[in-house]
Structure 1
Amino acid sequence: MRLSVIGIGPGDAAYMLPAAQQALADADMVIGYHYYFQFVSHLLKPGCECIGRELSEEEARAVLAVESCAAGKHIAVISSGDAGVYAMASLVYEYAAKQNREDIALQTIPGISAFQGAAARLGAPIGHDFCCISLSDLMTPWTTIEKRITGAAMGDFVTSLYNPRSNKRNWQLSRLKEIYLLHRSAETPVAIVRQVSREEESIHLTTLGALDVTMVDMFCLVMIGNSQTYRFRNFLITPRGYLSRKPITGDEIQQESFRQISEQLQRDDLSPADQWAAIRCIHSTADFEYEQLYYGTDNALEKWHTYLTNGGIVITDVTMVQSGITKAFTQRYGVEVKCYLNDERVVALAAAENLTRSQAGMRLAIAAHPNALFVIGNAPTALLELCDQYQQGNCRPVGVVAAPVGFVNVLESKLKLKYTTGIPSVIIEGRKGGSNVAAAIVNAAFTLDTITAMHTHK
């Protein structure tokens, strides 16, 4: 004895699979919603018993099918679309399992589901990840359905809606629209496909914001695009990504990282140059707090760009900052990057003057290059020394990058520079900073022409 659950497609005979036609031609009894027999009666063999039931009698159909199975008999249960999608397959199998009918040879014949038929009519809306949600709460609690709606909206799934709206269930689609608008643009394409593949078929294209729920009934399927879906003529297209592949080369990856960071920036008081430096700090640390910690004065980045591209001198407090400044930039413009921390005179000077090594190295650097760009990424004592030397008139730096990191004297050194007027500065406020951050700011100054070009071509 055999029991087949057969999907007959959305309505058009051309959309019924050959396997379904063959199974129907072999059936001794066919059970289904009486409306569906108009699509299959011509396929049935003489003497096949046809038993029609009402739309709401799904359970009765499953019971009848299982209990009608007998030796040598082939029973078929028909369902529109695909029998496994919101249809009869699960109910038939569930009842057979509860009755422990090991003697029945069960099979499911797939069919073209309404969402697939609608998608074909619309062109290419399901080219990326999608989901199907039934808005009927007859069998599923609305709280569960709403969780699924929210998950699909947040997950940016293309969404096909079954059972979207009826005379009695007339509010669920409005609630879904409200939820989706929290996560999707009002311009998101939406299609209402009614009676897909049947003579009465109609397609209405609209947007999520303009969706008129009163146009929808139980003969409709509603399809909502994702954030990339767009309309072309009377088609909807959801790109898979072939024409906008993920970045592969190092430069592509870096540029995509900058783009993603830029999209998440919040401050509107930063100049394009300072914003670019903040982006590079975030890129170096993966920490968006650097946007809030960033403080710049006197158009510092623009001045430093001119200075560096004309072959300036950069002084760093530690070799890690020196290593972090991109060598391709320094070589291109003939910039010297010097660190005096390991100078042979440092130890003796530190002992004689009761200084830290960082202070001693900074004092030697100031004496040799009083007008350089000073970049502090580690030692607050080096920054304090630089401020003192400036106040004593021993140097006139083209600028100072202040990003020492830690606890002791870190806040004090940054505040001292902040309230020392006359030095174009970039300060990373608070306790954060580091060599990589300091170097990132210098690299931002080197590449300021690049970001200016990017802004120009936006």
Structure 2
Amino acid sequence: MEYIKDPMAIENRSMEIIAPYLAGFNLDEQAIKVYSRIIHAAGDPDYASIIKIHPEAIASGLAALKNGCDIFCDVEMVRTGINKRRLAELGGQAYCLVADETVAQEAKAAGITRSMAAMRKFGDKLNGAIVAIGNAPTALFEVLAMIKENNVKPALIVGVPVGFVGAAESKELLHTTSPVPYITVLGNKGGSPIAAASVNAVMYMLGR
């Protein structure tokens, strides 16, 4: 059986296959890149109808990355999926504290999830940074609370937690109330690969 073996050729062909699914959405070139990488990561063209990108999201993310911003993740799977080599070239690093023992203790003491405790631990470090949430709706709820109550202001929130408890609600809140630019997918879909793909899509606009 003949099949494509070259990684770049596989990626290029994938984008060619995805392109027709985006034809009716009136997207600019940058938005197409984000949509395409999300759909590619999910293997699901139906994502095109649920992706929501704040008008300033890509520009804000690009400006932050150019300034060497860090990326703060809710789970290790998101951090793992981000192209950390390219991020380092831009001057940033990706962080996740969900496995940190201190965070675990603080979460247990407060009766909250580790991802919530991790976001609290990051605190003001989120200012001017990119927040990437792919798994924990509680982390997204916490970041939105920190923005409202503590005047924390990330440059970009990639908020795509997956699941049936709080996921749709947290993303709807992000979409309808966030003063911070965001990339999200509405409903129950999402996940760590989608979060990482969204971040990489923006980062790759600065070269690979």
Query: What TM-score results when the alignment is normalised by the length of structure 1?
Result: 0.43
**Aligned with residue 150 of structure 2, among 372, 381, 393:** 393
Superposed CA offset, 1:201-256 (max 9, x none): xxxxxxxxxxxxxxxxxxxxxxxxxxxxxxxxxxxxxxxxxxxx975421121112
Distance 2:21 2:141 in 1: 34
Q: How does 1:17-416 map to 2 (within 5 A)?
A: 247-416=4-173
For structure 2, the residue ranges without an aligned partner over 5 or more in a row are none
Distance 1:368 1:447, change over 3 A: closer
SS of the residue corresponding to residue 264 of structure 1 reads helix
- Whether 1:436 aligns to 2:188 is no
* Amino acid of the structure 1 residue aligned with 2:162: V
Deviates more, 1:365-374 or 1:438-447: 365-374
| Bigger helix share | 2
Give the deviation of 1:279 after TM superposition.
Answer: 0.3
Give the deviation of 1:281 after TM superposition.
Answer: 0.7
Task: Please say if residues 134 and 159 of structure 2, whose CA atoms lie closer than 8 Å, have aligned partners that are also in contact.
Answer: yes
Distance 1:268 1:414 in 2: 21
Give the deviation of 1:298 after TM superposition.
Answer: 2.8
SS of the residue corresponding to residue 52 of structure 2 reads strand
Distance 1:429 1:266 in 2: 20
SS of the residue corresponding to residue 163 of structure 2 reads coil
Give the deviation of 1:337 after TM superposition.
Answer: 0.3
Task: Please say if residues 64 and 129 of structure 2, whose CA atoms lie closer than 8 Å, have aligned partners that are also in contact.
Answer: no
- Identity fraction in percent: 33
SS of the residue corresponding to residue 150 of structure 2 reads coil
Superposed CA offset, 1:161-185 (max 9, x none): xxxxxxxxxxxxxxxxxxxxxxxxx
Task: Please say if residues 313 and 337 of structure 1, whose CA atoms lie closer than 8 Å, have aligned partners that are also in contact.
Answer: yes
Larger Rg: 1
Give the deviation of 1:259 after TM superposition.
Answer: 1.7
**Aligned with residue 427 of structure 1, among 161, 184, 189:** 184
Distance 2:141 2:153 in 1: 15
SS of the residue corresponding to residue 24 of structure 2 reads coil
Distance 1:369 1:302 in 2: 18
* Amino acid of the structure 1 residue aligned with 2:141: L
SS of the residue corresponding to residue 400 of structure 1 reads strand
Question: CA RMSD, aligned part only?
Answer: 2.0
* Amino acid of the structure 1 residue aligned with 2:127: P
Task: Please say if residues 322 and 337 of structure 1, whose CA atoms lie closer than 8 Å, have aligned partners that are also in contact.
Answer: yes
Query: What TM-score results when the alignment is normalised by the length of structure 2?
Result: 0.91
Superposed CA offset, 1:123-143 (max 9, x none): xxxxxxxxxxxxxxxxxxxxx
Task: Please say if residues 98 and 104 of structure 2, whose CA atoms lie closer than 8 Å, have aligned partners that are also in contact.
Answer: no
Distance 1:294 1:252 in 2: 26
Distance 1:416 1:263 in 2: 30
| Bigger strand share | 1
Distance 1:331 1:449 in 2: 13
* Amino acid of the structure 2 residue aligned with 1:346: V
Matched length: 207
Task: Please say if residues 366 and 394 of structure 1, whose CA atoms lie closer than 8 Å, have aligned partners that are also in contact.
Answer: no
SS of the residue corresponding to residue 371 of structure 1 reads coil
Distance 1:246 1:263, change over 3 A: farther
Distance 1:393 1:404, change over 3 A: same
Which of 1 and 2 has higher RCO (CA within 8 Å, sep 6+)?
A: 2
SS of the residue corresponding to residue 341 of structure 1 reads coil
For structure 1, the residue ranges without an aligned partner over 5 or more in a row are 1-244, 451-458
